[in-house]
Amino acid sequence: MAGYYSPLTSTRTLLLKIPPVEPGTVGPCPVAPDALQGIKRQQTNPARWNGAGWQDFVAALRTSSVELAEGAAACGVYATDAGGTAYGLPHGVVLARSAGQISLLLKAAQAHRVPVTVRGGGLTTEGESVAFGGVLLDMSGMSRVLNVDAQALTVRAEAGIYWHALAEELRRENLDYLSAPLNLTSSVGGTLGVGGIDVNSARLGCSADQALSLQVVTPTGEIVECSDGENPELFQRVILGYGQFGIITEATLRVRPYTPLAMHYYYYSSLRTAIEDLQMLDRNDASDYSGILTIMDCAVNLLVAFDSDEREAAFRKNWESRLRGYGEFGFALCMAGHYALRPWKFREALYLLQRKREVFPEFRRPEYMREGKMHDRSVVFSRAVWKHWGSRQMVIPDLATSADKFIEAVERGNAVCRKYFVHYTLYCVGIKLRPDHQPHYEMSCVPPDAEGWAYGCEFEPMIEGGIYSRDHFQSFKNAIYDVGVDMGASYYRFGGMMKGYIRRVFGDALVDRHLAMKRRADPAMILNRDVIF
């Protein structure tokens, strides 16, 4: 290394020799190969597909009359997912129109070995629905309700439909879906592939468990109907299968009569106590909806809600007195006392007050309240989620564990959050498991040792206009995921940037078995290939 004169310090300083670079050219990498030794490298975007044979593939599609859009205006929409940390562009986009069209697309993709990435709502946060080259198949073009059977309480819909669009149609028949993610714009197909947790999942299970049957286009282009009774192996692999074993094009789902909710909120200053109470309610089937949302780890909100007056009355009679949380007024008094004795924590108190002022009214908007009951709770919750937690970067790592391990997982995750961010929110819910669906859960977000219920916690930092590097976010996520590996937990968000965790969590034997299945089903390994394997 040569010595260079530094005008800043006016002393001779040792600097790296960076050769001058001609404008308009890319110079050699100034970082020596051994320069980052000892520093843990973070996994980032998968490598972009090299585009071999793309033109032949495009010609084949044209012959089959499958429309493909190329160029910035068409592809730019798909550059990232809701996570906003993984970026990649497809070579071209196909807008899903029918199972037949998708079958032609997949057959051509197998023949030409072109990767196909499927996107529903694109609400993944680890880049699973981002295409790093190849074709992006946008399922939102298939988003119609095909049939509502109000007698049998089922609906058949195209799988690209957003849950909220489905709810709009169902409400015209005074029906509702069972459970769906609280964001309005995830799609049915995308959610059945990954899980789907709602504040009623402790009672009704994850969204994927409400599917009765599916129409699937396999990676080699066959159009197959599957259910627990028909082609059950395919059904098991496609449900919670992260789009590895087929593209869901239609789904028959269970539905239920629509009801407004009676909501109750209890406030805790201890996460542990709140989680114990949540699990007590779930075990005893004491409420129709339950979940925890924190403002801070010393201001924890346990939400409890009911579909009927009878269920609410039974809760009041049998369970409410066992809860150790306070009502809003009682908790405010408690907090006032707490901060009066700790005046140096006034910033924390101000934050609590500010959050309360901003967020609480959102849950009480008069146009959604009638006679003390909340209507269209998914709209109320989801709009609040987007408004108060949404941004161009959504970093939401999570842990899913058995009921026994949950408190420890949340406390350890909470400690990680504290280390990385000033403010953050934890969102915890129970997920009732269906014993008959055990095969569906293999290598999924449902932890292998969970019985009866699994529990999930999302750890969501409040970005609040702050600027963090991608590495900071990634290190945070890795620290949460490491807790999972250590505890034998599972995660809701597999894929993309964190697929390195799959083997560590499930072990080689199980992953290799699934990989062998994947190779048989998808010989050219084209379908959603960057997500899991």
Partner 1 sequence: MPATLARAPAAPRDYAACSGCNLCVLVCPMWRSHRDPRFTPEGLAKALQHGATAAQLAAPVEACSLCGACDPVCPEGIDLPGLVMDLRQKLANSLSPRSSPLLDDLCASLQQGVASGVASRSAPLLLPGPDLRADAALLARVQALLGLAIADDDGDDIALALELGVEIPQHRLQQFLASLRGHSIVAADGLLLRQLRRWLPGSQRMGLGAALSSRPAVRSNLLATDLYVIEARAYHGDYERMVAYYDRLQLETGCALNLDLQRIAIPAGAQGLSQKLGATPGDGDAQAKWILKGRRPARIVVESMADRAAFERVCDLPVVHLAELGEDPEMIKRRPHAFG
Q: Which does 124 bind (CB under 5 to 8 A by kind): ligand FAD, partner 1, none?
A: ligand FAD
CA-to-CA distance for 168 and 154, rounded, in angstroms?
A: 15
- Of the candidate residues 79, 153, 521, 525, the single one contacting partner 1 (CB under 8 A): 79
CA-to-CA distance for 78 and 188, rounded, in angstroms?
A: 19
Q: Is 155 in the site for partner 1 (CB under 8 A)?
A: no
Secondary structure of residue 296 in the 3-state scheme: strand
The CB-of-35 to ligand FAD minimum distance in angstroms stands at 35
Q: How many residues does the chain have?
A: 533
CA-to-CA distance for 125 and 129, rounded, in angstroms?
A: 9
The CB-of-351 to partner 1 minimum distance in angstroms stands at 21
CA-to-CA distance for 490 and 447, rounded, in angstroms?
A: 5
CA-to-CA distance for 269 and 299, rounded, in angstroms?
A: 5
Q: How many CB atoms lie within 10 A of CB 16?
A: 11
The CB-of-40 to ligand FAD minimum distance in angstroms stands at 26
The CB-of-52 to partner 1 minimum distance in angstroms stands at 25
Q: Which does 116 bind (CB under 5 to 8 A by kind): partner 1, ligand FAD, none?
A: none
Q: Is 171 in the site for partner 1 (CB under 8 A)?
A: yes
Size of the site for partner 1 (CB under 8 A): 44
Give the pair of three-digit tokens for residue 482. 């490491």
Give the distance from CA 368 to its chain's centroid.
26
User: What is the DSSP secondary structure assignment for residue 429, as one 8-state letter?
Assistant: E
Q: Which is nearer to ligand FAD, 294 or 312 (CB)?
A: 294
Q: Which is nearer to partner 1, 186 or 402 (CB)?
A: 186
Question: For 90-121, what is the HEC assignment?
Answer: CCEEEECCCHHHHHHHHHHHHHHCCCEEEECC
Given a contact cutoff of 8 angstroms between Cβ atoms, the answer to whether 68 and 61 are in contact is yes
- Of the candidate residues 19, 38, 343, 366, the single one contacting partner 1 (CB under 8 A): 366
Site string for partner 1, 80-119 (x = CB under 8 A): xxx-x----------x------------------------
Q: Which does 138 bind (CB under 5 to 8 A by kind): ligand FAD, partner 1, none?
A: partner 1
Q: What angle do CA 503, 187, 517 make, to 5 degrees?
A: 35
Enumerate the H helices of 341-405 as residue ranges: 346-359, 377-389
Binding site for ligand FAD (CB under 6 A): 81-82, 117-125, 128-129, 139, 159, 181-183, 186-187, 189-191, 193-197, 242-243, 247-248, 385, 390, 394, 495, 528, 531
Q: Which is nearer to partner 1, 100 or 390 (CB)?
A: 390
Q: Which does 496 bind (CB under 5 to 8 A by kind): partner 1, ligand FAD, none?
A: none
Which span (376-384, 405-413, 427-435, 436-444) binds partner 1, by CB under 8 A?
A: 376-384
Q: Which does 391 bind (CB under 5 to 8 A by kind): ligand FAD, partner 1, none?
A: partner 1
The CB-of-85 to ligand FAD minimum distance in angstroms stands at 12
CA-to-CA distance for 465 and 462, rounded, in angstroms?
A: 9
Q: Which does 118 bind (CB under 5 to 8 A by kind): ligand FAD, partner 1, none?
A: ligand FAD
CA-to-CA distance for 475 and 484, rounded, in angstroms?
A: 14
Given a contact cutoff of 8 angstroms between Cβ atoms, the answer to whether 194 and 242 are in contact is yes
Q: Is 168 in the site for partner 1 (CB under 8 A)?
A: yes
User: What is the DSSP secondary structure assignment for residue 48, as one 8-state letter?
Assistant: P
The CB-of-180 to partner 1 minimum distance in angstroms stands at 13
Q: Tell me the CA end-to-end span of the chain in Å, nearest whole number.
A: 43
Given a contact cutoff of 8 angstroms between Cβ atoms, the answer to whether 43 and 498 are in contact is yes
Secondary structure of residue 242 in the 3-state scheme: coil
Secondary structure of residue 519 in the 3-state scheme: helix
The CB-of-37 to ligand FAD minimum distance in angstroms stands at 35
Q: Is 259 in the site for partner 1 (CB under 8 A)?
A: no
The CB-of-44 to partner 1 minimum distance in angstroms stands at 20
The CB-of-163 to ligand FAD minimum distance in angstroms stands at 8
Residues that bind partner 1 (CB under 8 A): 72-77, 79-82, 84, 95, 121-122, 138, 140-144, 162, 164-165, 167-169, 171-173, 183-185, 366-368, 376, 379, 383, 386-387, 390-392, 394
